Structure 1
């Protein structure tokens, strides 16, 4: 571990694997890195403490949104309805030309714009919360079969 590196954790996170002091962050906080400003967006659903980070015209989505789909909600603490609100009220309301950089490269390419991701992902085309839940259930059923 490098004692010079700051480690940021969402407030109330139960993730405590560090022997290093952590810095607590909340929704809407701005982290200053050198001369850049990074805005914290709390996006629970995949996990209760999931966050996305907005830097200029780039959104680092972690496990909230991937290329072609959203994160899954199969872990303890996951909640599909909470994920819907995070994705549809926080991510998809951003300018459509923002580039998404997911935490994993599970898609056909490593990054794309919000607008392009909506076009290629049925999970991002839900009519409402219940439709999203249905689409997520169908997605999981197809993974199993």
Structure 2
């Protein structure tokens, strides 16, 4: 009995793609490889852990867009992050600090090369955020203390004045 060639064996069954029928879109400002690494981290994290419940497919792209949108208005007037009134995953992006949380979580879980690329993209945005927001003089007296510097900025007013 003749042996079937490996090519003929592989042709019979298509390889499953982890992304589905279409690959995920590229995140603006990141290379294709880094975008795929971000999508992989989002897909693998899911909501298996309550600490990482806000990291879901598409969250990093949305967080990056929200962070840029917050810093977009030109001028020298200070910006004040606004707290979200709803804690659902869609409304939580109203608070730009939550968007920055998502970006920090993604940075922590990415492989080294993709982490460096996303870090280079975030560095000027973080500098602009620090320049355009005011430090909270009473942050050290608050009941809750956070290690994240973006929560130690004045907030609770409308972002647009």
Q: TM-score, normalised by structure 1?
A: 0.35
Q: TM-score, normalised by structure 2?
A: 0.33
Higher relative contact order (CA closer than 8 Å, sequence separation 6+): 2
Structure (1 or 2) with the larger CA radius of gyration: 2
Higher helix residue share: 2
